[in-house]
Amino acid sequence: MVPPNTPMPTTSSTQGEPEPDVERPTLVPEFDPEAFARESDADGDRPTVVPDYDPEAFARDSEVKQRAALPVTGESTIDEARRLLQQGAPEEALFLVARLLEHSPFHSEATALLKECRDALERECLAAIGSPSAILVVALRPDELKGFALDSASGFLLSLLDGATTVETLVDLSGLPRLLALRHLRGLVARGLVVAQRNDSRR
């Protein structure tokens, strides 16, 4: 005989039936206060990583935005560029307009002025070099050239001078942007490293 208050043993496990839900105790993960303290101290000792910051680039960017939005001097960026162009400084005007177009690429007036600046700068470079049909020759001996610090573009253009190629052909052969090549050739002439000789075949 079974005692009156004794629960009957379950037989569900033997019959394949699921066991009734049983309240299971919550498992608390082990906590090591010393390890936690060590990790916290290590995190506190890590140096703060400061993102890269270029103050000059920030200043240029801020200047362009301020001038385009609210000129401090009373002269807008486009007006300043046009004034520089009229004063015979197309290169400075070109750089100013180019920076403006970086922030306002659909600025129609700046786009038109950009072409004017490029054309004026090209004329200025060609006037300093001689002409598109001029032939440039190296004015110094190879050992003398070693004393001059040349950038890669100038050195490359210098290597193309053969005493027979015109400036126009030289620019095409270099594969460099036209204005970039002309500006570097102008620099070589200004420094006295190359000189223009008369092209008799074009007379």
Model confidence pLDDT, tens digit, residues 97-114: 999 999 999 999 999 999
Query: In whole angstroms, what is the distance from residue 150 CA to residue 193 CA?
Result: 10
Q: For the chain, which residues make up each domain, given as ranges?
A: 56-127, 130-202
Number of H helices, E strands in the chain: 10, 2
Low-confidence ranges of the chain (pLDDT < 70): 1-74, 198-203
Fold classification of 130-202 (topology level): Arc Repressor Mutant, subunit A (1.10.10)
The two tokens of residue 167 are: 């400036």
Q: pTM (2 decimals)?
A: 0.59
Query: In whole angstroms, what is the distance from residue 96 CA to residue 92 CA?
Result: 6
pLDDT tens profile 30-65 = 656 566 556 655 555 555 444 444 544 544 454 444
Q: Which residues does 122 contact at the CB level (< 8 Å), separation at least 6?
A: 178, 179, 182
